[in-house]
Amino acid sequence: MSNQFDQKSEAWSARFSEPVSDLVKRYTASVFFDNRLAQCDIDGSLAHAEMLAHQGIISLADYSDIQRGMQQIRDEITSGKFEWLLDLEDVHLNIEKRLTEIIGDAGKRLHTGRSRNDQVATDIRLYMRGAVDNIAGLLHALRLALLDLAEKNAEVILPGFTHMQVAQPITFGHHMLAYVEMFGRDAERMADCRKRINRLPLGAAALAGTTFPIDRERVAKTLGFDDVCRNSLDAVSDRDFAIEFCAAAALVMTHVSRMSEELVIWMSPRVGFIDIADRFCTGSSIMPQKKNPDVPELARGKTGRVNGHLMALLTLMKGQPLAYNKDNQEDKEPLFDTVDTVIDTLRIFADMAGGITVKPDAMRAAALQGYATATDLADYLVRKGLPFRDAHEAVAAAVRACEQKGCDLADLPLADLQGFSRLIEADVFGVLTLEGSVAARDHVGGTAPNQVRLAIARLRTEIK
């Protein structure tokens, strides 16, 4: 029996003797953010209703009314005509109430053998499955864009850094392929968490299961789930799949953020390794000369909020006794914002990769400063029979001499070089050049242009 208080009364408030205050209503409602689950909610309801009819729990006529009503609701939602009511708390009650308005009693039978607890868990999983598939596609596109950039610049040499100090020459193609690897692992993580997302909670009802003769496998099959959640308490209460997703998303953003940091540094006029197309940059309102790499900077910044969402969900979960608690309603905003942020960021980055212009001359000039081929000289001496530690010492002395003279190792005359080791001969200049240095690292995972091309070919068959 419904009471006089509010529209929600039909859902649960017949046992209450006073209405909730407006503030409490607003505080407990989720409809204005969980309405993004609407289409998933309808999919879940239709699969549930189909099963109820198949099992003889509701009539076929009821099922057909439910189908008709839901189709109308879908249309109302897509055309923006659906009226979301705060009084009806959440997406589930809003849709159910409207269904009943349209089709009458059959609408009231839909919730048989079901609770909002297993309903919402199902909706989130359906929603996340779509999000994960979307993100997987975007990671794929980004990797292809980076592969193109790597291929175009396979042989361009720049200094590789450790501790932000010039370390050894590397090829730009190789540098880009490092990110292709990272985003590849991100795609693996997304695919892996999808397995645990794709299990059906429906049938758990509020927490203990239902007294009706339901067929959970049937619903799972209709909705494309790989399996059903095996324990009803677990099914309604845990959100570990969402946390896992957020962890994978935080890693995606962390990789994007590291790349962003490099793009920002590379675009600084002091470095000048790259230019980023104007459409990804902005100017300054006061300094007319400025062109700022806003997109990578923002991506670096947004990584903070995605990392924060992971922490929010972990914290949300940690104190909850089994089974469902209203705390779980708080999973949605962090989750949705994570999905939105990752999707926008990946889309923009895949696009921006095509707008990066590499400046080989600046990269080369930088690689020529900082004795980037010192390790090559040490390796040369080792090949001539000197133990590596002694070779290291000899080259360190040569670098010190260069510093005093203000020149590079390759600029020292042979006679001077021989002063550091009698093993040095005229062929040394072959290893002191940048080209010689990168070409020599010709093994799987090495920076040689030859290896970069092989890696690109392998990745092209892998990322189809």
The footprint of ligand ARG (CB under 6 A) covers 30, 34, 90, 116-117, 120, 324, 326, 328-329
**Identified catalytic residue from 284, 309, 392, 443:** 284
Query: Residue 149 corresponds to which tokens in the numbers above?
Result: 């950039």
Partners of 274 in the beta sheet?
358
- CB burial of residue 109 (10 Å; 0-12, 13-18, 19+): buried
Q: Please say which residue, 93 or 346, places its beta carbon nearer to ligand ARG.
A: 93
Distance CA(356)–CA(349), nearest Å, equals 10
Q: Please say which residue, 43 or 62, places its beta carbon nearer to ligand ARG.
A: 43
Residue among 237, 246, 448, 256 at smallest CA distance from 353: 256
What is the closest distance, in whole angstroms, from the C-beta atom of residue 161 to ligand ARG in the complex?
Answer: 47
Asked if 378 contacts 415 with a C-beta cutoff of 8 angstroms, the reply is: no
Residue among 195, 202, 229, 221 at smallest CA distance from 122: 202
What is the closest distance, in whole angstroms, from the C-beta atom of residue 185 to ligand ARG in the complex?
Answer: 32
What is the closest distance, in whole angstroms, from the C-beta atom of residue 37 to ligand ARG in the complex?
Answer: 9
Q: Determine how many CB atoms are found less than 10 A away from the CB of residue 387.
A: 10
Partners of 171 in the beta sheet?
157
What is the closest distance, in whole angstroms, from the C-beta atom of residue 220 to ligand ARG in the complex?
Answer: 20
Q: Please say which residue, 65 or 238, places its beta carbon nearer to ligand ARG.
A: 238
Distance CA(135)–CA(260), nearest Å, equals 19
Known catalytic membership, residue 92: no
Q: Please say which residue, 89 or 155, places its beta carbon nearer to ligand ARG.
A: 89
Q: Please say which residue, 67 or 112, places its beta carbon nearer to ligand ARG.
A: 112
Q: Please say which residue, 34 or 65, places its beta carbon nearer to ligand ARG.
A: 34
Cβ neighbours for 55, distance < 8 A, ≥ 6 positions apart: 212, 213, 214, 215
Asked if 97 contacts 31 with a C-beta cutoff of 8 angstroms, the reply is: no
Q: Please say which residue, 34 or 376, places its beta carbon nearer to ligand ARG.
A: 34
What is the closest distance, in whole angstroms, from the C-beta atom of residue 257 to ligand ARG in the complex?
Answer: 30
Look up tokens 């009314």; give the residue: 65
Q: Please say which residue, 235 or 448, places its beta carbon nearer to ligand ARG.
A: 235
What is the closest distance, in whole angstroms, from the C-beta atom of residue 329 to ligand ARG in the complex?
Answer: 4
First and final CA of the chain: distance in angstroms? 59
What is the closest distance, in whole angstroms, from the C-beta atom of residue 85 to ligand ARG in the complex?
Answer: 14
**Identified catalytic residue from 17, 21, 79, 163:** 163
Cβ neighbours for 21, distance < 8 A, ≥ 6 positions apart: none
What is the closest distance, in whole angstroms, from the C-beta atom of residue 279 to ligand ARG in the complex?
Answer: 39
Q: What does 170-238 look like in DSSP terms, one character per residue?
A: EEHHHHHHHHHHHHHHHHHHHHHHHHHHSEE-TT-TTTT--SS---HHHHHHHHT-SEE-S-HHHHHH-
b/e per residue, 50-87, with b = 16+ CB within 10 A? Answer: bbbbbeebbeeebbebbbebbeebbebbeeeebebbbb
Angle, vertex CA 423, rays to CA 418 and CA 424, nearest 5: 50
Known catalytic membership, residue 111: no
By annotation, the residues acting in catalysis are: 163, 284
